[in-house]
Amino acid sequence: MVTGGSGFIGTHTCLELINAGVNVSIIDNFSNSVGESLERIERLSGKKVSFYEVDIRNKNSLQEVFKASDFSAVIHFAGLKAVGESVSYPVRYYQNNVLGTLNLLDVMSQYNVRKLVFSSSATVYGDPETLPIKEFFPRSATNPYGQSKLMVEHILEDLAKADPEWKIACLRYFNPVGAHSSGMIGEDPQDIPNNLMPYISQVAVGKREKLSIFGNDYPTVDGTGVRDYIHVTDLAKGHLAALNYLYSEQAESFSPFNLGRGQGISVLQLVNAFEKASGRKIPYEVVNRRPGDIAACYADAQRAKQLLGWKAHLGVEDMCKDAWRWQEMNPTGYK
């Protein structure tokens, strides 16, 4: 069972799972995605997916789905993810991300499903004192979105302690970007993009006039913010590796993993790489820092390599080429 399977990371993960022979069912309420993404998964894989239009805040509907099926594990993507919006509408974020997850855990227990892969985020590390970030670093949150992820992490840890039958992989994503190499599935922001890569792509395709770079006075290589960008296909494969781990003998009840490449890339470096990959100029202006942003963030991804046998293979060039192919083939997203 994949919750949030018609979203950006969900679609790519479902495709990898189906291609690996996993029998996948999807739950989504389409609050940030559209049905066309599921049709694309079917076209790419040549397989039908079973889909349930369900809101995870609705426990009765979740129970109906579980009652009618025989799931062995859940990958849980469903949730809201816009930091700025979470500051304006905190209750909405806690309801979707925390209450929704509590419902899911309850229904999983009820139907004896105790394997879970959870979508967490590097945001739970707050502003780290040193880099690269390791899994045991202290955690903190600076906004309701991050807080909701941290709360769920604590809930999952408590659950795993109370009942070691649970096997939970908590995946902390760094910065997922790019798109499937076919150009058929990709990131489809419903509004003005908050994240850097989709913003750059929309400037390249002429949908936005120019990029605003949020600050060039950070203590980084060129003054702009540094992040650990990871290709969404690599990330999707990380979920398959995590799922396999949960079925293995050595699986711990709660296991956190950084999914990143371990390489910091600045905003300007990403802009340059995108210009090269697309052959388009990306006009930009430097504006004030975005409140709450940190200077730099990148992963130590050794734990995932050792325990999951997973590492990212695709580089910045692939990320930009694939993001551009998706944007060029689908200038208005799935619509």
Give the separation between CA 145 and CA 147, rounded to whole angstroms. 5
Fill in the DSSP letter of residue 123: G
- Residue 4, interface with ligand NAD (CB under 6 A)? yes
Give the separation between CA 329 and CA 102, rounded to whole angstroms. 39
Minimum distance of ligand UDP from residue 174's CB (angstroms): 8
For residues 13-72, which are near ligand NAD according to CB under 6 A?
Answer: 27-33, 55-57
Instruction: Concatenate the DSSP letters of all residues of 16-65 into one string.
Output: HHHHTT---EEEE--SS--THHHHHHHHHHSS--EEEE--TT-HHHHHHH
Q: Is 52 a catalytic residue?
A: no
Minimum distance of ligand NAD from residue 10's CB (angstroms): 5
Q: Is 134 left (phi over 0), alpha (psi -120 to 50) or beta?
A: beta
Minimum distance of ligand UDP from residue 57's CB (angstroms): 25
Task: Find which of ligand UDP, ligand NAD, none residue 33 binds, CB within 5 to 8 Å per kind.
Answer: ligand NAD
For residues 277-296, which are near ligand UDP according to CB under 6 A?
Answer: 290, 293
Q: Which two tokens stand for residue 167?
A: 């096997």
Write phi, then psi, for 208 (nearest 5 degrees).
-130, 150
Give how many residues touch ligand UDP by CB under 6 A.
Answer: 14
Minimum distance of ligand UDP from residue 29's CB (angstroms): 23
One residue of 100, 198, 256, 262 binding ligand NAD per CB under 6 A: 100
Task: Find which of ligand NAD, ligand UDP, none residue 185 binds, CB within 5 to 8 Å per kind.
Answer: none
For residues 204-233, which are near ligand NAD according to CB under 6 A?
Answer: none
Three-state SS for 13? Answer: helix
One residue of 2, 9, 108, 320 binding ligand NAD per CB under 6 A: 9
Q: Which two tokens stand for residue 244?
A: 């396999």
One residue of 166, 173, 199, 257 binding ligand NAD per CB under 6 A: 173
Q: What angle do CA 128, 131, 132 make, to 5 degrees?
A: 115
Closest by CA position to 101, among listed 62, 64, 140, 138: 62
Q: Which of 93, 94, 145, 245 is catalytic?
A: 145
Give the separation between CA 81 and CA 191, rounded to whole angstroms. 13
**CB closer to ligand NAD out of 35 and 283:** 35
Catalytic residues: 145
Q: Which residues bind ligand NAD (CB under 6 A)?
A: 4, 6-10, 27-33, 55-57, 77-81, 96, 100, 119, 121, 173, 176
